[in-house]
Amino acid sequence: MQGYAIVTRLPFEAELQAIGVLPECRRSGAGLALMEAVLAKAKGWSSERLLLEVRVGNLSAIRLYKRSGFGEDGVRKGYYPPLPSQAAAGREDALLMSQVL
Ligand SMILES: CC(C)(COP(=O)(O)OP(=O)(O)OC[C@H]1O[C@@H](n2cnc3c(N)ncnc32)[C@H](O)[C@@H]1OP(=O)(O)O)[C@@H](O)C(=O)NCCC(=O)NCCS
């Protein structure tokens, strides 16, 4: 196994809860392949949109999402607690993203 993706089916939409690739397997297209599988699954459900939220500082994930067709919908201020490695920093904003399927 190189990675995982968790996606929730909602009445009209689907929401990506998490996506991750093992550190040693990153930057070789696994993330993009996982996202393509998520999009195919949500389209199979006839979901109208795929939604997600991501830490504004998670630039590698945001690049993957933009490359996969997601657009920015807005920002939810102070949504995430600080990462353990950045405990001195305050809470982090969430970037809301989606794409029509
Ligand atoms: C976000 C994440 C899933 C991306 O996974 P990934 O497998 O590295 O994704 P990809 O390989 O498709 O793309 C990553 C980069 O590698 C590049 N890449 C892809 N295939 C490549 C190849 N064969 N050779 C060189 N570079 C390549 C992509 O262009 C991309 O570059 P960019 O970051 O400059 O845009 C991964 O970084 C991760 O697991 N992060 C930790 C968990 C996380 O934050 N998840 C999101 C929130 S839940």
pLDDT tens, residue by residue, 10-64: 999 999 999 999 999 999 999 999 999 999 999 999 999 999 999 999 999 999 9
Pocket test for ligand 1, best of 28, 52, 54 (most atoms within 8 A of CB): 28
Where helices occur in the chain by DSSP H, the ranges are 30-44, 59-67
* End-to-end CA separation in angstroms for the chain: 27
Task: Please state the domain count of the chain.
Answer: 1
* Pairwise CA distance, residues 70 & 63, whole Å: 10
pLDDT at 88: 81
Q: What angle do CA 73, 16, 20 make, to 5 degrees?
A: 115
Query: For the segment 68-98, what is each residue's pLDDT rounded down to a tens digit?
Result: 999 999 999 999 999 888 878 889 999 999 9
* Pocket flag, ligand 1, residue 66 (CB < 6 Å): no
pTM of full prediction above 0.75: yes
CATH label of the domain that carries residue 25 = 3.40.630.30
Residue 87: which domain range?
3-100
